[in-house]
Amino acid sequence: MALSRLNTFTTKSSLFRQLPQNAKCLSNLILGEPSGPSVKTPIPGPKSKEMISELNTIQFANTVIYFTDYNKSIGNYIVDVDGNVLLDVYTQISSLPLGYNHPDLLKVLQDPDNQRTFINRPSLGLFPGQGWPQKLTSSLLSVAPKGHSQVTTMACGSCSNENAFKAAFMWYRNKQRGGAPITEEENTSCMMNVAPGSTPFTIMSFKGGFHGRTIGVLSTTHSKAIHKLDIPALDWPIASFPRYKYPLEEFAEENKAEDRKCLAEVEEEFERFNKSGRFVAGVVIEPVQAEGGDNHASPEFFQELQRITKKNGAALIIDEVQTGGGATGKYWCHEHFHLPEPADFVTFSKKMLTGGYYSLPEFRPQQGYRIFNTWMGEPSKVLLLDKVIEVIKRDNLLSIVQASGKKLMDGLMDMSKRYPQHVKNVRGIGTFCAFDSSSAEKRDEIVAKLKEKGIQSGGCGDLSLRIRPALVFQPYHADIFLEKFEKVLKKIKTF
């Protein structure tokens, strides 16, 4: 029943191919979507509330916003169990590349050959299915950042970063050994968590960064106390991430000075830790700090960071878990930075559907079972990703992102002039946009009122609201968002 309903959801890719730059035809890309949001009950509605209490008897459920009807959700619209239809600019924490129930993805499931991939989950490190290298090539490697030919799949974003860190540590130690074999003492000491088998190596991270919640990467996460409280942390170097003044054109000098200050801290931390023998094996950074409040840094900052990292013999690990997959108008956000050399690692998850990382060949582990786990990713996710990438290319979705991003940014800029008390520091690349409100309370009020008007958005950082639509979000959807947003702004009291 759900499927027949979804047959009305048709892509107009052939039409779109003829007129790729024509914004008018972009609005026809998805048929079968509602013409706009509709809200019938308070959110969460009565059915959601009942289900939340039911779930709460089984597990802690106080974060649940509402229960979703995944049969009815379609394209850019999420539909809750009470029948409320919301334009979704949060998309499952920025992890839905093509919106809900995309017909091309549903077709992947209907193919009997594919069904076997869904039910026979392999241990990829031991028994990959035939065609696996070709699948990796047509999907992940077809969109690899320039200079990358090696990819390792993992389950989630945290796990991808954990393993990139481990690969960086092994690479660093291997350099130190200078080709000497691993000693018996190293093998026995590591079993007791002591030197020389266990190293004192570190990963440098940035204030405001987020790289996951598992215990290793959590030491590099610095966005909110709630993520870290009560968990033991590693004493690793932490530098400041630039905090710019907006509009950027007006504060060019101040922002350049901010870059210099943060880069000087990176140099100081390298020196401090390397001198004390706690060698910095890697530097991990997001191209835009997302959970930490959508903090952007300049291409020059990243170029210089790459130079300093290399000079100090460490690996640059770019965490594209949230920024990757097309939302910035390029497949990888760091492509906007024109780095002189490829990053050593680029980690991904979310919109890529599978976790994992690209790494340069020198980071291949020296022995088997060093970067390893039961599943090492999930072929059915890669099968879906293969289709997602095909649709992105076929429907020219990156140019849609650019067009919709411009519409969003222009609209937000305009709001920041007309409602300066509520909309400040507008920033974004592609549809990866955000602004600051005047306080956390005001930001939460805007998110709540947007929901009442049928817009699902999300907060980030202390006082920011982030916009994270799917790649099928078109300029026409941006208009709907902006119209509802203005209605909300008119209702928000200044104090």
Q: How far is the CB of 369 from ligand PSZ (least distance, A)?
A: 23
Told to check if 349 binds ligand PSZ by CB under 6 A, we report yes
The catalytically annotated residue of 374, 393, 410, 491 is 374
Q: How far is the CB of 456 from ligand PSZ (least distance, A)?
A: 15
Q: How far is the CB of 129 from ligand PSZ (least distance, A)?
A: 24
Indicate if 207 belongs to the active site. Answer: no
Indicate if 319 belongs to the active site. Answer: yes
Cα 436 to Cα 451: distance, rounded to the nearest angstrom: 18
Give me the residue label for tokens 């005001």. Answer: 442
Told to check if 243 binds ligand PSZ by CB under 6 A, we report no
Give me the residue label for tokens 């995309």. Answer: 102
Told to check if 294 binds ligand PSZ by CB under 6 A, we report no
Told to check if 286 binds ligand PSZ by CB under 6 A, we report yes
Told to check if 291 binds ligand PSZ by CB under 6 A, we report yes
- Token pair in block for residue 402: 């650019």
Cα 141 to Cα 119: distance, rounded to the nearest angstrom: 24
Candidates 21-29, 156-164, 374-382, 418-426: pick the segment binding ligand PSZ (CB under 6 A). Answer: 156-164
Q: How far is the CB of 224 from ligand PSZ (least distance, A)?
A: 8
**Residue 137: which residues within 8 A CB-CB, separation 6 or more?**
none
The catalytically annotated residue of 319, 344, 386, 436 is 319
Q: How far is the CB of 175 from ligand PSZ (least distance, A)?
A: 26
Q: Are strands 288-289 and 202-206 parallel, antiparallel or unpaired?
A: unpaired
Site for ligand PSZ (CB under 6 A): which residue of 156, 182, 238, 492? 156
Q: Which residues, 161 to 190, sit near ligand PSZ by CB under 6 A?
A: 161
Q: Are strands 85-88 and 455-456 parallel, antiparallel or unpaired?
A: parallel
Nearest CB to ligand PSZ, comparing residues 321 and 412? 321
Candidates 139-147, 153-161, 381-389, 440-448: pick the segment binding ligand PSZ (CB under 6 A). Answer: 153-161
Total of chain residues touching ligand PSZ, rule CB under 6 A = 16
Nearest CB to ligand PSZ, comparing residues 69 and 291? 291
Indicate if 350 belongs to the active site. Answer: yes
Sheet containing strand 151-154, edge to edge, reads 151-154, 355-359, 345-348, 315-319, 280-285, 202-206, 238-239
Give me the residue label for tokens 């990963």. Answer: 203
Q: Shortest CA distance to 409 belongs to which of 488, 319, 294?
A: 294
Q: How far is the CB of 327 from ligand PSZ (least distance, A)?
A: 12
Told to check if 211 binds ligand PSZ by CB under 6 A, we report yes
Q: Are 392 and 352 in contact (CB under 8 A)?
A: no
Burial level of 354, CB count in 10 A (0-12/13-18/19+)? buried
Q: Shortest CA distance to 435 belongs to which of 456, 416, 450?
A: 416
Told to check if 73 binds ligand PSZ by CB under 6 A, we report no
Indicate if 10 belongs to the active site. Answer: no
Residue closest to ligand PSZ, measured at CB: 157
Told to check if 381 binds ligand PSZ by CB under 6 A, we report no
Please report, for residues 130, 384, 388, the alpha-carbon distance to residue 117 in angstroms, rounded to integers and kept in the order given. Answer: 11, 11, 17
Q: Shortest CA distance to 170 belongs to which of 310, 359, 375?
A: 359
- The count of residues in the chain is 495
Told to check if 212 binds ligand PSZ by CB under 6 A, we report yes
Q: Are 446 and 437 in contact (CB under 8 A)?
A: yes
What is the contact mask toward ligand PSZ in residues 306 to 335, using x (rule: CB under 6 A)? Answer: -------------x-xx-------------
Candidates 31-39, 84-92, 210-218, 390-398: pick the segment binding ligand PSZ (CB under 6 A). Answer: 210-218
- Token pair in block for residue 403: 């067009």
Candidates 204-212, 328-336, 396-404, 415-423: pick the segment binding ligand PSZ (CB under 6 A). Answer: 204-212
185 Cα distance to chain centroid: 41
Told to check if 64 binds ligand PSZ by CB under 6 A, we report no
Told to check if 93 binds ligand PSZ by CB under 6 A, we report yes
Q: How far is the CB of 317 from ligand PSZ (least distance, A)?
A: 11
Q: How far is the CB of 331 from ligand PSZ (least distance, A)?
A: 16
Q: How far is the CB of 347 from ligand PSZ (least distance, A)?
A: 7
Nearest CB to ligand PSZ, comparing residues 263 and 321? 321
Site for ligand PSZ (CB under 6 A): which residue of 210, 279, 345, 435? 210
- The number of C-alpha atoms within 13 Å of 125 and in the hemisphere containing its C-beta is 14
Active site residues: 210, 319, 350, 374
Interacting residues toward ligand PSZ by CB under 6 A: 93, 156-158, 161, 210-213, 286, 290-291, 319, 321-322, 349
